[in-house]
Amino acid sequence: MPDILIPDELDRGLIHALHVDARAPFTLIAEVLGSSTQTVTRRYRRLHAEAGLRVVALPDPRSTRTDQWFLRLTAATRTAHDLAAALARRSDTSWVRLTSGGTEIVAIVHAAPGGPDAHSLLLRDIPRTAGVTAVSAHCLLHTYLGGPTPWRGRLGVLSPEQEARLRAGTLPAADSGPYELTDADRRLLGALRADARAGYADLAAATGSTPATVARRLTALRARGALFFDIDIEPAVLGVTVSALLWMQVAPSRLDEVATALAGHDELALVAATTGPTNLVAHALCQDAEALHHYLTRRVALDAITRIETAPVLRTYKAAATLRG
């Protein structure tokens, strides 16, 4: 972005409020923030237009019965951009970034286990792509930070009392095990993936239903924990100029201990256990290169981490479900 929007306390409070309840009415957010509904609505629209703010809903992987894979592709610099853009346009990807000097693409791919088309992107489509020189796939085993758990850099504005007021009208997600989505659920999630703040009338029009039915179905999905909301915004707006993926090798007996500790670090937006020689991946967001260096040498220098590979993120093509230009 040529001109970076500098958010003030009200902007940051709005972003924090959306993390607490992505569908909270602007009237309630304004009341909690001590502002007017018109001002909060105007700020939201400005952040949407100038800072890439998007509110999206994503299904819980257990409800879609899919596996998640980190796909790492090494490609010639001249073809990496086109390949990353093509991956971002696919419906089975949710996270596409260009790293490591512009020669590596990292994507999260959702693959249904079993069936004739399972893992076709991993096993058939990519190896046939011209310019790809190496492919590795790492199955995501467990997420310690990320998904429904927001990066703390977007929080820290609202008090516990303000958060409680926003949560008052929401039902806590029940830990009742996986819920299998119906076709109607999938249509609704498709509409929410485009705009999770869309009104019930718009959602009904998009899904061929009625506002009342949509409201009941969305309430049920939230109560079952079958979906979660994610906030996408340009990191630079929040003072982040350096982003990097950290691929770590940890002794298996200490993996849970290390991952749990890292999940408490404010610098990280993602911590996940994976298969492969590097069995722990993290996504670091820092103010600048010096801050990343300080983090790597002072905070991640744990004896249980036997190897760490730092891959700077040069460009984001897709974050959550949002395509970037």
CA nearest to 106, candidates 65, 147, 134: 134
Residue 14: its pLDDT value, please? 96
Residue 209: its pLDDT value, please? 94
CA nearest to 30, candidates 19, 99, 73, 18: 18
What is the DSSP annotation of 106-175? EEEEEE-SSSTTTTHIIIIIGGGSTTEEEEEEEEEEEEEESTTS--GGG-SSS-HHHHHHHHTTSPPPP-
Cα 117 from Cα 135, distance rounded (Å): 19
281, with CB counted inside 10 A (0-12, 13-18, 19+), is buried
Residue 303: its pLDDT value, please? 86
Q: Which two structure tokens, joined as six digits, stand for 291?
A: 């801050």
Greatest Cα pair distance, the chain, in angstroms, is 57
Residue 125: its pLDDT value, please? 64
Residue 135: its pLDDT value, please? 87
Per-residue pLDDT of the chain (325 residues; tens, 9 = 90+): 446 678 899 999 999 999 999 999 999 999 999 999 999 999 999 999 998 899 999 888 777 777 889 999 998 888 899 999 989 998 888 889 999 888 899 999 888 765 545 455 555 666 566 678 888 889 999 999 987 677 777 778 899 999 999 998 776 665 566 678 899 999 999 999 889 999 999 999 999 999 999 999 999 998 888 888 988 888 888 889 999 999 999 999 999 999 999 999 999 999 999 999 999 999 999 999 999 999 999 998 788 999 999 999 999 999 876 666 5
| Helix residue ranges per DSSP H, the chain | 9-20, 26-33, 37-50, 61-64, 77-88, 120, 160-167, 183-194, 200-207, 211-224, 255-262, 289-294
Q: What kind of architecture, by CATH, is found in domain 234-319?
A: 2-Layer Sandwich (3.30)
Domains of the chain by residue range = 234-319
Residue 118: its pLDDT value, please? 45
